[in-house]
């Protein structure tokens, strides 16, 4: 008998305002053609004035609860993966807890930037497998539009806002890779690379700051590390790329996604792709893709999924999951 963290529900929320690439042409020396060809992004959503990360997260949370047929107090824990929490503290997770009417259990944030949802899943899996929680909701939610330097064309055209949520519940498997649920995780970070992707503000500077990125450097690390971590996570449980139904990658750049799939020996027909519609939503991008992938009818019960992500830190990793 093996305890597994099994998916019970998924949901997402995207703010109403859709911004096409062409909108940037008025204020920046850029073009729809450049943004599409270099990143694969066509449009993104931006939160309305006053709409916060915990607002987006709470909407995604309610959608996931509805999908699971659960109420808030059925949950033991909420983990929010975010780098754009509403405030320095308390956590976005406790704000979501209050907003959805959950009066028991515990809630906390995980900060691993674009890899945050993968780190959140690994934490939820550990809580469930160790018996500390039976039902955990993992949310990825971001309002990166709040940390954009709108004069920096190398970054501000790439990011978007949104939230996705996944509910995991303890289930019993036979310990084989035929089990539903999280089958393996693989996490990494290397703080020596902190300067290639960071926000130049925070408590130390007493202002929020703006995202700064050496795009080419991050790109190089992404292409090198993502296929490797996916491969490692699969190998830990004796699986290989050929067993994978869907890669659900962090949606930062279509060229990175294609290169990673190619390295894994899988065609783009095995990739859930949302980058064109959402842009890079950091920790929200994987749960958004999971929710949209299910809605589209791509992801089905029993499918083998591998998620992989890399972001500021650098922090990166992957999770193998049977849906």
Residue 39 contacts ligand UT7 per CB under 6 A: yes
Stretch 252-291: interaction string toward ligand UT7, x if CB under 6 A:
xx--x-----------------------x-----------
Is 45 one of the catalytic residues?
A: no
Secondary structure element (H or E) that encloses residue 46, with its range: strand 43-46
Residue 187 β-bridge partners: 317
User: Which residues have C-beta within 8 Å of that of residue 305, sequence separation ≥ 6?
Assistant: 244, 245, 246, 247, 248, 290, 299, 320, 321, 322, 323
CA distance 164 to 137: 10
Nearest-CB residue for ligand UT7:
215
How many residues lie near ligand UT7 (CB under 6 A)?
20
**Strand-pair category, 43-46 with 17-20:** antiparallel
Is 250 one of the catalytic residues?
A: yes
User: Which one of the listed residues 114, 123, 125, 156 is annotated catalytic?
Assistant: 114
Residue 314 contacts ligand UT7 per CB under 6 A: no
Stretch that binds ligand UT7, among 8-16, 61-69, 215-223, 293-301 (CB under 6 A): 215-223
Is 156 one of the catalytic residues?
A: no
Residue 15 contacts ligand UT7 per CB under 6 A: no
Contact of 110 with 286, CB cutoff 8 Å: no
Stretch that binds ligand UT7, among 1-9, 124-132, 213-221, 300-308 (CB under 6 A): 213-221
Among 19, 25, 30, 106, binds ligand UT7 (CB under 6 A): 30
97: alpha, beta or left, given left = phi > 0 and alpha = psi -120 to 50? alpha
CA quadruple 168, 89, 15, 143: dihedral positive or negative? Answer: negative
In the Cβ-directed half-sphere of 196, how many Cα atoms lie within 13 Å? 18
Residue 293 contacts ligand UT7 per CB under 6 A: no
Closest CA to 226 of 196, 197, 194, 253: 253
CA distance 267 to 297: 18
Toward ligand UT7, which CB reaches closer, 170 or 271?
A: 271
Alpha helices in the chain, H assignment, sequence order:
32-39, 53-68, 92-99, 116-129, 215-236, 254-263, 275-278, 285-295
Residue 81 contacts ligand UT7 per CB under 6 A: no
Provide, rounded to whole angstroms, the least separation between the CB of residue 211 and ligand UT7: 9
Provide, rounded to whole angstroms, the least separation between the CB of residue 111 and ligand UT7: 14
User: Which one of the listed residues 12, 45, 231, 250 is annotated catalytic?
Assistant: 250
The residues that are catalytic are 114, 250, 280
Where do contacts with ligand UT7 occur on this chain (CB under 6 A)? 30, 34-35, 38-39, 114, 153-154, 157, 215-216, 218-219, 222, 252-253, 256, 280, 310-311
């Amino acid at each position: 008998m093996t305890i597994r963290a099994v998916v019970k529900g998924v949901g997402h929320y995207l703010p109403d305002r859709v911004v096409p690439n062409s909108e940037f042409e008025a204020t920046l020396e850029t073009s729809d053609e450049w943004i599409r060809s270099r990143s694969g992004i066509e449009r993104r959503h931006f939160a309305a004035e006053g709409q916060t990360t915990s607002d987006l997260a709470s909407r995604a949370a309610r959608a996931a609860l509805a999908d699971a047929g659960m109420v808030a107090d059925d949950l033991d824990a909420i983990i929010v993966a975010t780098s754009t929490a509403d405030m320095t503290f308390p956590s976005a997770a406790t704000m979501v807890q209050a907003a959805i009417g959950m009066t028991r259990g515990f809630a906390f944030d995980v900060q691993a930037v674009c890899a945050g949802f993968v780190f959140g899943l690994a934490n939820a899996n550990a809580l469930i497998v160790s018996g500390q929680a039976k039902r955990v909701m993992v949310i990825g939610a971001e309002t990166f539009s709040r940390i954009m330097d709108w004069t920096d064309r190398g970054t501000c055209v790439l990011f978007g806002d949104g939230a996705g949520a996944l509910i995991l519940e303890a289930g019993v498997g036979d310990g084989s890779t035929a089990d539903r649920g999280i089958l393996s995780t693989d996490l990494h970070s290397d703080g020596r690379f902190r300067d290639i992707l960071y926000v130049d503000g925070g408590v130390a500077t007493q202002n929020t700051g703006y995202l700064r990125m050496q795009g080419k450097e991050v790109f190089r690390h992404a292409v090198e590390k993502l296929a490797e971590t996916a491969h490692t996570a699969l190998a830990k449980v004796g699986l290989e790329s050929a067993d994978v139904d869907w890669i659900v990658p962090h949606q930062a750049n279509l060229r990175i996604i294609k290169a990673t799939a190619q390295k894994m020996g899988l065609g783009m027909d095995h990739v859930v792709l949302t980058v064109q519609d959402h842009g890079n939503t950091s920790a929200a991008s994987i749960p958004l893709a999971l929710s949209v992938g299910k809605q589209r009818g791509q992801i089905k019960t029993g499918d083998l999924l591998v998620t992989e992500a890399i972001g500021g830190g650098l922090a990166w990793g992957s999770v193998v999951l049977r849906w």
